[in-house]
A = this chain, B = another copy of it.
Amino acid sequence: MLSIGELSRKTGVKIPTIRYYEQMKLIAAPERSSGNQRRYSKTELDRLGFIKHARDLGLKIEDIRELLTLAAHPEQPCAQANQIAANHLGSVRAKIAQLQRLEAELARMAEGCSSGKIENCYVIESLSNHALCSESH
């Protein structure tokens, strides 16, 4: 049996976050000690590890909730789980593309300025005048 602090250390999930997940019903309310403190077993350790891993990959809580439900039904087809992963992959790729456009724009801004006075600052000017942008964003 693990205390909340031990669970936190083993999973890398912060204590208030564990309690938050309990409130959001991502994890079940665990047993309590005689003094009303939370006590966790291996089941919950594994489940929280799963959640942590999925969150690190940027999956949303609602997606994780669905994946956890799916994981609890091993006999069902896994097309849905794949769909969630594939969708997320799509949005990660979209975000990368978007950030790369911003990167180009910011690099142009930061490098185009010779650090003189504000009145000639290319950063400020670029922000004021969208026409200076090379691409859409």
Residues of A within 8 A of B (CB): 46, 49-50, 53-54, 56-58, 67, 70-71, 73-79, 81-82, 84-86, 88-89, 92-93, 95-96, 99-100, 102-103, 105-107, 109-110, 113, 115-121, 123-124, 126-128, 130, 137
Contacts and interface: CB of A to CB of B under 8 A. Distances in A.
A116 B53 contact: no
B123 A78 contact: yes
A125 to B, nearest CB: 9
B76 A117 contact: yes
Contact of A117 (B75, B96, B121): B75
Given A73-B118, A96-B100, 6 more contacts: A53-B126, A54-B127, A77-B115, A81-B123, A89-B103, A89-B110
